[in-house]
Structure 1
Amino acid sequence: MAKEIERKFLVRNDGWRIEAASSSQFLQAYIASGDDRSIRVRIIDGTKARLTVKIGREMLSRDEFEYDIPVSDANELADLSIGIVLEKVRHRVEHKGYIWEIDVYSGTYEGLIVAEVEIEDEKARPELPAWIGREITGDRRYSNLVMATEDLSRELIHGVPAAAR
């Protein structure tokens, strides 16, 4: 069983772009979700696809199982998904021994940019690049599952209106 341990942050500025080593276009759709688990399909650059099962309530650390599947199956599953199909370009940046994944959303979440870093254990504290903003690890609103099943685009992109605070 694989364990995913990651921290998540908003991105402060475009300083990461000069360090980006690669990028891929993602289409990400959720097939099922429960209180402590989800099943998603991800199509990468239109040529590869993966089915992922995540189990666990913690946002920092969860069990994760991933399997390659045919792109044709992934497209069919995406058509049967629940909620919003997420669209994003993922850029990979190496910084001080860690790989940062910067997700630049398009579609419903156009304008949202989030950085994630996978860490070896929950106590690890990688040095934060200058372009990293506020930490959002554990903020369920920034969970891809929540973003897909509850349209939070107005709140995440434009902030909470003063009248709603």
Structure 2
Amino acid sequence: MGVEIERKFLVDHNQWQQMPKPIGTYFRQGYILSEPGKTIRIRVTPDEGFITIKGGTTGLSRLEYEYAIPAVDGEELLNNFAISELKKRRYRIDVGGKEWEVDEFLGDNKGLLVAEIELESEDEKFILPPWVTTEVTGEARYYNSNLSVLPFCKW
């Protein structure tokens, strides 16, 4: 069984702009199913695709199953079956031996910067980078599935 344990934080724009960072990866991400307690997501980068099935969140944890698919299949699934979609650029940054993923949202979500860290357990300790601000774990409006239907520009 796949389990995702994740915490999510907003990112300080000024600090983010000033820091050196790796080249980000462009993501096109859409939802075939998005309802309380379960989502089916398709994600495509320039080189690969993924289908991800997620369950409802309990605490910081939720069931997650993710499988690689050919990018061309991912594009076809997005084009033919997605009910909502968003675009973003993702940066992976190591802090204290843990990988942080920082999403710079594009399109109608432009201006939103969100950092996520996946943990081994809900009580795992980790270092907060100086560019991280408010924790938004569990705040539904920051879920990607919700951003795809009610984007940041409409808040």
Q: TM-score, normalised by structure 2?
A: 0.90
Deviation at 1:49, TM superposition (A): 0.2
Deviation at 1:108, TM superposition (A): 1.2
Q: String of CA shifts for 1:68-107, please: whole Å, max 9, x gaps.
A: 1122221121112112x21111001111121110000111
- Tell me the equivalent position of 1:135: 135
User: Percent identity, aligned pairs only?
Assistant: 39
The whole-number CA distance in structure 2 between the counterparts of 1:20 and 1:48 is 22
Deviation at 1:150, TM superposition (A): 3.1
The whole-number CA distance in structure 2 between the counterparts of 1:119 and 1:150 is 28
Give secondary structure in 1 for the equivalent of 2:58: coil
- Tell me the equivalent position of 1:31: 32
Q: Is the 8 A contact 2:8 2:116 kept in 1?
A: yes
Q: Is the 8 A contact 2:33 2:41 kept in 1?
A: yes
| Structure 1 unaligned blocks of 5 or more | 156-165
The whole-number CA distance in structure 2 between the counterparts of 1:93 and 1:57 is 25
For the aligned residue pairs, the C-alpha RMSD in angstroms reads: 1.7
Q: Is the 8 A contact 1:5 1:60 kept in 2?
A: yes
The whole-number CA distance in structure 1 between the counterparts of 2:91 and 2:123 is 25
The whole-number CA distance in structure 2 between the counterparts of 1:152 and 1:131 is 20
Give secondary structure in 2 for the equivalent of 1:125: coil
- Tell me the equivalent position of 2:57: 57
| Structure 2 unaligned blocks of 5 or more | none
Which contiguous aligned blocks of 4+ residues in structure 1 show a shift greater than 4 angstroms? none
Q: TM-score, normalised by structure 1?
A: 0.85
